[in-house]
Amino acid sequence: MGELTLRERALRHLARRDHSRAELARKLSAYGSAEEIEAVLARMGELELQSDTRFAEAWVRSKAARFGGTRLRSELMRRGVDKTLINETIANECVESELDRARAVWQSRFRTQPADSREWARQARFLQTRGFATDVICKLLKENPDESA
């Protein structure tokens, strides 16, 4: 079997999962010139085999239950998705509020309100690494457990 063409490599990557245009270009960069890669990516877009919109929607749907808006935005930006597309996708795909998602993540990990400032800081750091906003974290950790029920 001979060397795979750029088109075949792109199809193999897209068969595994959706990729953003920038991700796919990066993965193909070792196998062709910039012009060849751009032509293959343009053709994949024409055939609707590659779509940044579809990629962003699927990615946000799969990660929204575990991560906050900040983390979702930074991960999509890192993958080369356009800012306006990121904001639209997060607004459309995150049906639960940021506070509800943070509460679900917090409950799956901790289940009890922080007893002291050290525990409060530990729980806040956890939620912060998950990409939840500071105001959401403060509101969540200061609420009474009976209020969320």
Domain boundaries along the sequence of the chain:
1-50, 52-95, 98-148
Closest CA to 140 of 85, 94, 99: 99
Amino acid 149: pLDDT: 40
Q: Are 72 and 60 in contact (CB under 8 A)?
A: yes
Q: In whole angstroms, what is the distance from residue 90 CA to residue 146 CA?
A: 29
In this structure, which topology does domain 1-50 adopt according to CATH?
Arc Repressor Mutant, subunit A (1.10.10)
Give 144's pLDDT tier (boundaries 50, 70, 90). Answer: low
- Token match 């001979």: residue? 2
Please determine whether the domains at 1-50 and 98-148 fall in the same fold group of CATH. yes
Give 148's pLDDT tier (boundaries 50, 70, 90). Answer: very low
In tens, the pLDDT along 23-35 reads 999 999 999 999 9
Q: Are 64 and 98 in contact (CB under 8 A)?
A: no
Q: In whole angstroms, what is the distance from residue 127 CA to residue 99 CA?
A: 11
In tens, the pLDDT along 35-61 reads 999 999 999 999 999 999 999 999 999
Q: In whole angstroms, what is the distance from residue 37 CA to residue 87 CA?
A: 28
CB atoms within 10 A of CB 36: 14
Collapsing DSSP to helix, strand or coil, 131 comes out as: coil
Give 15's pLDDT tier (boundaries 50, 70, 90). Answer: very high
Instruction: Tell me which CATH code domain 98-148 carries.
Output: 1.10.10
In tens, the pLDDT along 104-126 reads 999 999 988 899 999 999 999 99
